[in-house]
Amino acid sequence: MKKTYHICLSSGDEVYCRDEEDYNYCFNSLALAIDETDSVLLADSIMSTHIHECVRSSDPKKLLTRQRYRYAKYFSAKYGRRGRFGERVPFMIEVQGLYHHLAALSYVLRNALHHGVAPTPFAYPFSTVNTLFRKDLGKVHKCELLSARQCHRYLPEHRNCPSGYRMVSDGLILMEDVVDTADVEHLFGSARAFLYYMNRLSGEEWQREQTKDASGKSPIITLDLIEKGVRGQSVEQMLRHEHGRSRYDIMGDLEVCRLIDRDILPSIGKDSVYQLTHAEKLHLAREICNDFKLSQELVKRCLAII
Of 255, 251, 106, 124, nearest to 184 by C-alpha is: 106
CATH hierarchy code of domain 3-242: 3.30.70.1290
d(CA 189, CA 209): 16
Residue 163 predicted with pLDDT over 80 = yes
In this predicted structure, the answer to whether residue 148 has a pLDDT above a threshold of 90 is no
Give the start-to-end residue ranges of the domains of the chain.
Answer: 3-242, 253-302
In DSSP terms, 8 is beta-bridged to 52, 91
Under a CB-based contact definition with an 8 Å cutoff, are residues 131 and 27 in contact? no
Bridge-partner residues for 52, per DSSP?
Answer: 8, 45
CA separation for the pair 305, 298 (Å, rounded): 10
pLDDT > 90? residue 123: yes
Q: How far apart are CA 29 and CA 54, in angstroms?
A: 15
Q: Looking at this protein, which amino acid is placed at residue 160?
A: N
Bridge-partner residues for 53, per DSSP? 7, 44
Which of the four pLDDT bands, split at 50, 70 and 90, describes residue 32?
Answer: very high
